[in-house]
Amino acid sequence: MWGIIATWRMAKEGIDDAVVNLQDGGSAGDAIETAIKAVEDFPFYKSVGYGGLPNEEMEVELDAAYMDGTSFDVGAVAALKDFANPISIARSLSAFPVNNLLVGAGAEAYAHKHGFERKNMLTDRAKIHYKNRVKDLRDTEISPYSGHDTVGMVSLDRAGHVVAGTSTSGLFMKKKGRVGDSPIIGSGLYADSEAGGASATGLGEDLMKGVVSYEVVRLMKTGMSPQDAVNKVTFDLDRELIKRRGKAGDISIVAMNQNGEWGVASNIDNFSFAVATEAQPNTVYTTKRVGDTMVHEVASEAWLEQYLTDRMKPLEEK
Ligand code: SD4
């Protein structure tokens, strides 16, 4: 069995590329890197790689991580500027016994030394988003957090290896140096080839409070199905946050077990995800919470088109 699952509709095209390899017996690690790079390279996704929205100082700072569920090798970068593919840098760091999570200048020095492609990741479109937001913030007291499309993925290959990966520009208008959950092993992602893998998207500051990806994998290891595990972790954390803090940030989790079965849960209305396995072609779903369960619906062609049209429509400075 092989499979790959990812947060958000934007992962669809990258998954198409990864599936070709997985079908031929390619590794889950290559599938994750190929699929995430495709999202990083696409300029119209506002929370990942090139075209990602900048921090308060109009700099694009990127977080990414990679975990191999067989060897437990981990690699991650945080607050990294000016490199095209943070997921590849994270993966390369996973080959070392120590120094696996590098931040800022240290991460950039490593990437430079190892020949990773440099790129100015701030697009003209992202600058317009930034300028418009600065104007909005002047006019109203809105929260700096809006919209998020972090890519988080789990893949299983025919050899039974599970790998997870993430890549994000984090929150729009974050403080310089702010690090979210995405590069934090256990929180943004976790993989264990004896159970499965999970990855999260949403408000990192809240996701970290539940160490959600580790918790999902731990539950799957006890025999719980991926869907039951993500439901429990998502809704329990949502309740805990509301009880203790009066509100819960966005929480969405995707998971796949070592048999290629998958589950997705979210406490928001407009979450989408893409999944392909040996048993099912690459399919995008939208998903809705109904009580403590989730209802997944296959996204229509029209919905898929609209998603891209919305992201690519001309943007004017206010
Ligand atoms: C973060 N969890 O940096 C990320 C943001 C995110 O989709 O998920 N965006 O907090």
Q: What is the pLDDT of residues 124-173, one digit of tens each?
A: 898 888 888 888 777 664 454 455 678 999 999 999 999 999 999 999 88
* Closest approach atom of ligand 1 to CA 63: 3
pLDDT of res. 288: 95
pLDDT for position 142: 47
- What separation in Å is there between the alpha carbon of 187 and the centre of ligand 1? 11
Specify which residues 63 forms β-bridges with. 168
Quick one: pLDDT at residue 148? 62
User: 203 is written with which tokens?
Assistant: 């408000």
- Cβ atoms within 10 Å of 217's Cβ, excluding its own: 28
Q: Candidates 9, 40, 47: which one to mutate for ligand 1, based on the most atoms within 8 Å of Cβ?
A: 47
Beta bridge partners, 290, equal: 293
CB 49 within 8 A of CB 120: no
Active-site positions read 150
- Distance from the CA of 132 to the center of ligand 1, in angstroms? 21
Ligand 1 nearest atom to the CA of residue 149, by list position: 7
Residues of the chain whose pLDDT is less than 70? 139-148
Gap from CA of 147 to ligand 1 centroid (Å): 9
Residues in the ligand 1 pocket, defined by CB under 6 Å: 47, 148-150, 168, 170-171, 180-182, 201-204, 207
In DSSP terms, 68 is beta-bridged to 163
